Amino acid sequence: ATPTAVMVATGKGATQGVLIKGGNALEKAHKVNTIVFDKTGTLTVGKPEVVSDVLFSEISMEEFCNLAIAVEANSEHPIAKAIVEHAKNKLLDHKSQIANNSVVKDFEEHPGAGVGCKVGDKTVFVGNKKLMRLSNVSVDPEIENYFSDNEKLARTCVLVAVDGKVAGAFAVTDPVKPEAVHVISFLRSMNVNSIMVTGDNWSTATAIAKEVGIENVYAEIDPLGKADRVKDLQARGKIVAMVGDGINDSPALVAANVGMAIGAGTDVAIEAADIVLIKSNLEDVITAVDLSRKTIARIH
Ligand code: ADP
Ligand code: MG
């Protein structure tokens, strides 16, 4: 495209909340035929909420909530924030004490799995089944059932293990963005195929994909794995855009032909991207591709 055409299109994008970093990105976006979407915070709102809790051991609800708060207060993960808020409200509802947790030691974060630390003399882990495996905590059939029931409803289960035994769990939901279904189907009408990639588990991922109308899913993928999926698609001749919001998406945003970051996402993702969707609205994925196609068509 001529410098003038690029300038006009970039300006037009900017007024619509699509920040295009240079002519190269614009040039590449018109050829995109495959878009890889991250799940959490990209297809979903990214503000998870706890919808239920359950105890699996003799522990009191008061102690359970206090231990969960003690651990998750140290984590920046959106799920951690949801659990802290829920547990605090639960304690308030029961007129129970919120403990003062100055006694937390050895806090550890396990990316894609959860967190753990010592609370007083107790060892507590909060996270998914992978975390339980890592910390040698067994997951009984009763708990497996809780998982499958919730995951079918697109909910993520978070287990709380105390001294090597699962004490209870929270079910967390993160609703899909209202525009997601329309965007995926409209992209299909533009001959663009959508794929989902996520660090979350297979059943939750599949349920969310079904909700938004995506047929192709990769779940339980770590950050470098996300980039590998993008490279695989490119090796099969696809021109790939990646849409993501997290630090864990940045390798894939870089690997893609066009990286698109959600404006509300982390700075690392925004840095790594070629295009920033300022309004965090998925409709702007269409705006970006459309703008690029029109600009390029006008020139050739
Ligand atoms: P995504 O790719 O969907 O953004 P992450 O890689 O951040 O997901 O996390 C994957 C999974 O690891 C979460 O769905 C959750 O089960 C678990 N997890 C990670 N951090 C925490 C935490 N602080 N508390 C509880 N669970 C966690
Ligand atoms: Mg994300």
Rounded to 10 degrees, the C-alpha dihedral 282/222/256/210 comes to -40
Q: What is the pLDDT of residue 101?
A: 62
Mutation probe of ligand 1 site: the residue of 77, 166, 250 with most atoms within 8 A of C-beta:
77
What are the two backbone dihedrals, phi and then psi, of residue 105, each rounded to the nearest 5 degrees?
Answer: -135, 155
Distance (angstroms) between ligand 2 centre and the Cα of 96 equals 34
108-145 tens-digit pLDDT = 998 778 999 999 999 999 999 999 999 999 999 999 99
Residues carrying CATH 3.40.50.1000, the chain:
3-45+176-299
Chain mean pLDDT for the chain: 94
Q: Residue 159 has what pLDDT?
A: 98
Confidence of residue 94 (pLDDT cuts 50, 70, 90): confident
CA of 200 to the centre of ligand 1 (A): 7
Considering the domain delimited by 49-173, tell me its CATH architecture: 3-Layer(aba) Sandwich (3.40)
ipTM: 0.94
Is the pLDDT reported for residue 92 higher than 80? yes
| Prediction pTM value | 0.81
Portions of the chain given CATH number 3.40.1110.10: 49-173
The pLDDT assigned to 111 comes to: 79
Quick one: pLDDT at residue 102?
63
Q: What is the chain's Cα-based Rg?
A: 21
In Å, what is the CA distance from 35 to each residue of 188, 193, 249? 10, 6, 14
For the chain, percent of residues with pLDDT exceeding 90: 82
pLDDT of 1 over the 80 cut:
no
Per-residue pLDDT band at 39 (split at 50, 70, 90): very high
| Residues with active-site annotation | 38
Token pair of 99 as six digits: 């403990």
CA gap 166, 148 in Å, rounded: 16
* Smallest CA separation from ligand 1 atom 17, residue: 113
Q: Which CATH class is domain 3-45+176-299?
A: alpha beta
pLDDT exceeds cutoff 60 at 162:
yes
